[in-house]
Amino acid sequence: MIRFPLCRRLLPVVFLSLFFTLISLSGAAADKGDELKLLADFKKGNQIALMRHALAPGTGDPENFTMDDCTTQRNLSQAGRDQAIRIGNRLKQAGITDADVYTSQWCRCRETAELLGLGTPVPLPPLNSFFRNYERKGPQTEALQSWLAGQQLVRPLILVTHQVNITAFSTVYPASGEVVLMRRNADGRFEVTGSIRTD
């Protein structure tokens, strides 16, 4: 009997490669029609948009970080500023020309929120990053949930924040500038309806 030991060893590798390719394709970004439908549903209310700040090179913040001094923080690059403007334009093209916009107090989030051009951003401390203080993950996520419980969500509500905050609230790991859309259920909890990537 002819044996093919090399083929047998390669078979699992080929299978796994095919499996992850299919997973990747199934999770591809929504096409324009799907995006417009997601945003049309968002406009109807009872939903929120969690947006990760636009491109800001690096990770975390410098050791000399100061909340009120943007020069001590990691800030948007020019590519990030352009990205924030693009996502704002895409929302406007979908008919979202005015929204309630809340933001982390970090400079890169505040600048992202301003560049969307959809409303005057309001600082909201539960949206602040807990990257350097991970013990705040639970309390801040609960504080955000409590704050949202008091919102009627009759107008588009956009929350500009950080990756760690979005992942804690939605389990989605967003790219820079990605918008995660979530619907409020009858029990007051939120479920992801989809997401929109800028690039």
pTM, rounded to two decimals: 0.84
Query: Is the pLDDT assigned to residue 16 strictly greater than 80?
Result: no
What's the chain's average pLDDT? 87
Q: Which two tokens stand for residue 97?
A: 């020309």
Q: Write down the CATH superfamily of domain 30-196.
A: Phosphoglycerate mutase-like (3.40.50.1240)
Phi first, then psi: give them for residue 46, nearest 5 degrees: 65, 25
What is residue 198's predicted lDDT score, i.e. its pLDDT? Answer: 77
Query: Is the pLDDT assigned to residue 20 strictly greater than 60?
Result: no
Tell me the three-class secondary structure of the chain, residue by residue: CCCCHHHHHHHHHHHHHHHHHHHHHHCCCCCHHHHHHHHHHHHCCCEEEEEECCCCCCCCCCCCCECCEHHHCCCCCHHHHHHHHHHHHHHHHCCCCCCEEEECCCHHHHHHHHHHCCCCCEECHHHCCCCCCHHHHHHHHHHHHHHHHCCCCCCCEEEEECHHHHHHHHCCCCCCCCEEEEEECCCCCEEEEEEECCC
Share of the chain above pLDDT 70, in %: 83
Calculate the alpha carbon distances from 45 to 88, 96, 100 in Å: 18, 12, 12
Ranked by mean pLDDT, the top range of 26-30, 57-61, 92-96, 194-198 is 92-96
Size of the chain, expressed as the number of residues it contains: 199
Contact status, residue 52 vs residue 77, Cβ threshold 8 Å: no
Contact status, residue 48 vs residue 101, Cβ threshold 8 Å: no
Please state which of the ranges 14-23, 171-180, 188-197 shows the lowest mean pLDDT: 14-23
53-79 confidence digits (pLDDT tens)? 999 999 888 889 999 999 999 999 999
Contact status, residue 66 vs residue 122, Cβ threshold 8 Å: no
What is residue 22's predicted lDDT score, i.e. its pLDDT? Answer: 36
d(CA 85, CA 38): 20
What is residue 60's predicted lDDT score, i.e. its pLDDT? Answer: 85
The pLDDT-based confidence of 32 (bands split at 50, 70, 90) is low
Query: Is the pLDDT assigned to residue 17 strictly greater than 70?
Result: no
Query: Is the pLDDT assigned to residue 158 strictly greater than 90?
Result: yes
Q: For the residues 177-195, what does the mean pLDDT come to? A: 96
